[in-house]
Amino acid sequence: MFHQQLVRNVWCAGRNYADHAKEMKAEIPKAPVVFLKAGTSVTSGSVIHLPNWSKEIHHELEIAFWLNEKLEYSHFTLALDLTARDAQADAKKNGLPWTLAKSFTDSCPMGQWLDIDSVPSLETLQLELKINNETKQLGDVTDMLFNPQTLLNYIKDHFPVAPHDVILTGTPAGVGPLKNGDKLEAILRDKTRPANQPLLVCQWDVN
């Protein structure tokens, strides 16, 4: 059911962790900041192919949620909001859309979907990204400026959401560039379980 071809829209929350907003020298938002990635940018593959037109593709690890027929969260996973930072900087400078920076081919790798009932509360989720065995990003749902349900309510109030849409909930601090040969390991944990028993582990090779 959760093959990437079924994903429709990918609604993304920007600056939803204060520490990430600060590292990007951006204001902490007073309301959710939402942008779109193309549903066709989603991939379930284990290899990240860097586009040849950008010299600065950054990793941004996020928790993703799937909307069911009732427009409620039914499943969740880890996703990378890959960003062409050089293209984004150019777009910001010239007042242009971020589409090239955010929606290039395979710019949204996703892991295996987990049932929402597999955790006692979304507030217990933690995410971590390791690159070449070194922790680069570490975050907790309780660190979000707008929690997953608040984001869902806001997006439903303002946009034409549909079943099979995905919501990305923002990235914690620690974003940075990827290079060929990097090995990524993303880990999703439930704080009510032992740390050595993660809910999900995703691995990607950069090529």
C-alpha distances in angstroms, 19 versus 5, 76, 81, 174?
A: 33, 23, 17, 9
Torsions phi, psi of 37, nearest 5?
-110, 145
pLDDT in tens, 140-170: 999 999 999 999 999 999 999 999 999 999 9
Output the pLDDT for position 6: 82
Output the pLDDT for position 206: 98
Per-residue pLDDT band at 5 (split at 50, 70, 90): low
Mean pLDDT score, 192-199:
94
Torsions phi, psi of 9, nearest 5?
-100, 150
Does 4 score more than 60 pLDDT? no
Whose CA is closest to 86, among 108, 115, 56? 56
Output the pLDDT for position 169: 99
Mean pLDDT of the chain: 96
Whole-number CA gyration radius for the chain: 16
Continuous segment of H or E residues that includes residue 26:
none
pLDDT in tens, 11-43: 999 999 998 989 988 899 999 999 999 999 999
- Domain 4-206: CATH superfamily is Fumarylacetoacetase-like, C-terminal domain (3.90.850.10)
pLDDT in tens, 116-138: 999 999 999 999 999 999 999 99
Query: How far apart are alpha carbons 57 and 55 in whole angstroms?
Result: 7
Which amino acid, residue 153? N
Mean pLDDT score, 81-88:
98
Does 85 score more than 60 pLDDT? yes
Of 18-27, 92-101, 194-203, the poorest mean pLDDT is in 18-27
Output the pLDDT for position 21: 85
Segments making up each domain of the chain, as ranges? 4-206
Which amino acid, residue 147? N
Does 75 score more than 90 pLDDT? yes
Output the pLDDT for position 182: 99
* Cβ(176)–Cβ(58) below 8 Å: yes
Query: How far apart are alpha carbons 102 and 106 in whole angstroms?
Result: 10
3-state secondary structure of 86: helix
Pairwise pLDDT comparison (3 vs 180), residue with the higher score: 180
C-alpha distances in angstroms, 202 versus 13, 22, 66, 96, 111?
A: 21, 27, 17, 33, 6
Output the pLDDT for position 26: 87
Mean pLDDT score, 173-195:
97
3-state secondary structure of 12: strand
